[in-house]
Amino acid sequence: MLQGKWITLGVSGGIAAYKAADLASKLTAQGAAVHVILTAAAARFVGPVTFAGVTGHFVHQDMFANSPDCAIPHIDLASRADLLVIAPATANVLAKLAAGLADDLLSATALAATCPVLVCPAMNAAMYQHPAVQKNLQVLESYGYHILEPASGRMACGTVGKGRLPETSVILEKIYQLLTPQGNLSGLKVLVTAGGTREPIDPVRYISNRSSGKMGYALARAAAQRGARVTLVTTPTALEPPPGVEVVRVETAQQMLEAVMAVYDRVEVVIKAAAVADYRPARMAEQKIKKSDAMLVLELVKNPDILGQLGQHKRPGVTLVGFAAETADLLQNAADKLRRKNLDLIVANDVTVPGAGFGSDTNVVKLLYADGSVKDVPRLDKLELAHLIWDEVLRLRGK
């Protein structure tokens, strides 16, 4: 996702510095070149050897030390960076940045930076709420810095409140937003569905499928990153919804149908990535069905065909994309679904292929179009695939 990007990561002296090591590792795994600046206080929490080990790059600490990759460290670390991230940013560092001080390598680099700057405050809750800290954050925002608000919860000091460094996944999401191409979906109203529906048998049991929701969430995330106005209709999953996305939570196929139809008239693109159960129990038992020696027979009835109804009532100017998860005859079954449901594009995958099954972080797909053409897509991370699908949607819409 971040291949070829130079990220300068400033780490200041708070207990949350340990999370910065995880952030540096994950950024490196995404292809970024991560160059770490440790303040003297930060090095007392996590040493330079840790950051060098996870990034493969020299770790900078002293403004005047020789560096193998920077002739003038505070200038090169600023001018060569695509993004400067300061995580954690302590109250002391915030004050320095707001005042324009340059008395160490991190503050001097920040002052010289012309790239976007992402500041991730982390401190005791009372410190974070102090008027001086809040004023400094306002000053930094006026400079054009991007501020990622801290999370709430229990902190190392034992207090509970707002001041925790957000989880690595949240920081990564903000970094993706700042570094991925923006704007080519700007203002586009899109609807994405995700997850597997749950069809109740009794108050404690249900019929469902193996969908994790990862592909749908990736599609919603990618669209939001590119400026779209996204509605995500989702069944229960273990995933955090992407920031900036309107989330509608449902469980059953009927609930999903109602949620989709409620917004369908005001969207321009629909991507149905949810795995909707084809059948549901004809009746839900009011009480838990107790186990007995007798066989249990469930009568199943067909669920509404959400994608079929969308295709049947397709409006001019609407782009409709579906998914086909198959175990055999992939192209034949996907092409038939594309035709029957009046789709513009269908994303087909054989879930028996390694790296393409439910719950996987990657996918291997074929894209089938209404004109009969087919495009093979190799194994990709689901967020990468999501961006590729949005590129195809734009092409279909003549953008």
Evaluate whether 351 touches 357 at the Cβ level (below 8 Å).
Answer: yes
What value does the CA radius of gyration of the chain take, rounded to a whole number of Å? 25
Per-residue pLDDT of the chain (399 residues; tens, 9 = 90+): 688 999 999 999 999 999 999 999 999 998 999 999 999 999 999 999 999 999 999 999 999 888 888 889 999 999 999 999 999 999 999 999 999 999 999 999 999 999 999 999 999 999 999 999 999 999 999 999 999 999 988 888 788 889 999 999 889 988 988 887 556 788 899 999 999 999 999 999 999 999 999 999 999 999 988 889 999 999 999 998 887 799 999 999 999 999 999 999 999 999 999 999 999 999 999 999 999 888 999 999 999 999 999 999 999 999 999 999 999 999 999 999 999 999 999 999 999 988 887 888 999 999 999 999 999 999 999 989 999 999 999 999 987
pLDDT at 182: 58
| CATH number of the structural domain 189-396 | 3.40.50.10300
CA distance 322 to 335: 11
Query: Can you list the alpha helix ranges (DSSP code H) found in 226-276?
Result: 253-264
Q: Is 138 left (phi over 0), alpha (psi -120 to 50) or beta?
A: alpha
| H or E stretch covering 246 | strand 246-249
Domain regions of the chain by residue span: 6-179, 189-396
- Within 10 angstroms of residue 80's Cβ, the number of other Cβ atoms is 14
CA distance 109 to 145: 14
Evaluate whether 185 touches 221 at the Cβ level (below 8 Å).
Answer: no
CA distance 162 to 294: 55
The pTM score is 0.69
Calculate ∠ Cα 274-275-276, nearest 5°. Answer: 100
| Residues classed as catalytic | 157
Tokens of 10: 């400033």
The strand pairing partners of 322, in sequence order, are 272, 346
pLDDT (tens digit per residue) in 52-85 = 999 999 999 999 888 888 889 999 999 999 999 9
- In this structure, which amino acid lies at residue 302? K
CA distance 345 to 295: 43
pLDDT at 1: 66
Please check whether the two domains, 6-179 and 189-396, share a CATH topology.
yes
Query: Can you list the alpha helix ranges (DSSP code H) found in the chain?
Result: 17-29, 48-55, 73-79, 91-99, 105-112, 125-129, 131-142, 168-179, 214-225, 253-264, 306-312, 330-340, 382-396
Q: Which class would CATH give 6-179?
A: alpha beta
CA distance 39 to 108: 12
